[in-house]
Structure 1
Amino acid sequence: MKENYIIICFGQFLFANHGKYGVNNENFLHNWTLGDPMLDQATGITRFEAADPAAGGQRRPFAKAVRAGDFIYISGQVPAEKGEIVAGGIVLQTEKVMENIVGVLKLAGCGLEHVIKVNVWLDDPRDFSSFNGVFEKYFIDHPPARSTVQSALMVDAKVEMDVIAYKPEP
């Protein structure tokens, strides 16, 4: 007889049938936060790593990336390193955001050439031109669709970006 588990993960309920998901109750959350992709075979959705801890080591309640079919959704990336916003202007912060995005895409087996849509939030619209200078460097060969808006961001963050990538599963 198979046992059913209800696992509380960052305030969300995940229902798992022991054996069906290839996980056990003790290692499920531990493995996922360490980088092992979590495939829900019932839905075909794969979640890649829990988001890095925020300042003070506080867990954040979302995945870095989620694959649903042939689409990969990358959570919003800010210019953070070890939970702290890096100091600097829009150019330095945009470079850090792009570095973070490239790293998360790699977790999902993708690269920038797979990105089809980018959403950008700028804290100050006067940074638009400088931001574009960095953005162009990364996407010159494979320009995605993009939306850019002004929005108040986390303290000291000047830019946040999320992306959608497309890469058919083998």
Structure 2
Amino acid sequence: MTQAPALPFSKIRLAKGLAFLSGEMPFAGDGSIPEGIAAQTALVLERIAGTLATAGLGLDDVIQVAVHLVDEADFGAFNAEYRKHFKEPLPVRTTVVARLLAPGALLEVTVTAAQRD
């Protein structure tokens, strides 16, 4: 018997050549959250890459990114880490400042990727 997911949403959905991911937060495998925006950004993007890999995709296939930052002061450090994970052509992106419900999390990121022909 398969255990139902803890939260009522899918992690990834494929439709009409696109992969839509739910928001990813910086939880390590043991449930901990690393310190600092750079470490949290790296972890979130690694987790997104892992989810995309389940559909045969990678970060190079990402066409759109939505970012929710807790503190606008983290914008520069977030961008510096983000840039390490994406290459040209860069995905389109929206970044907003938002209150997150997970204590200690400094960001949440969701992406849309295009499946390869």
TM over 0.5: yes
Provide the residue aligned with 1:165 in structure 2. Answer: 113
| Counterpart contact for 1:85–1:157, Cα < 8 Å | no
Stretches of structure 2 that go unaligned for 5 or more consecutive residues are none
| Counterpart contact for 2:28–2:34, Cα < 8 Å | no
Residue 65 (structure 2) pairs with residue 118 (structure 1)? yes
Cα deviation 1:22-77 (Å, max 9, x = unaligned):
xxxxx5xx2x86xxxxxxxxxxxxxxxx5xxxxxxxx1111110001101001100
Q: TM-score, normalised by structure 2?
A: 0.91
Stretches of structure 1 that go unaligned for 5 or more consecutive residues are 1-26, 34-49, 51-58
| Counterpart contact for 1:76–1:160, Cα < 8 Å | yes
Partner of 2:35, secondary structure, is: coil
Q: Which runs of 4+ in 1 moved over 4 A?
A: none
- State the one-letter code of the partner of 2:110: D
| Counterpart contact for 2:20–2:112, Cα < 8 Å | yes
CA RMSD between the two structures: 1.8
Figure out how many residues of one structure are paired with residues of the other and give that number. 116
Q: In 2, Cα distance between the equivalents of 1:139 and 1:168?
A: 17
Q: In 2, Cα distance between the equivalents of 1:88 and 1:150?
A: 19
In terms of fraction of residues, the more strand-rich structure is: 1
- State the one-letter code of the partner of 2:7: R
Tell me: higher relative CO, structure 1 or 2? Use CA pairs within 8 A at least 6 residues apart: 2
Provide the residue aligned with 1:17 in structure 2. Answer: none
| Counterpart contact for 1:66–1:74, Cα < 8 Å | yes
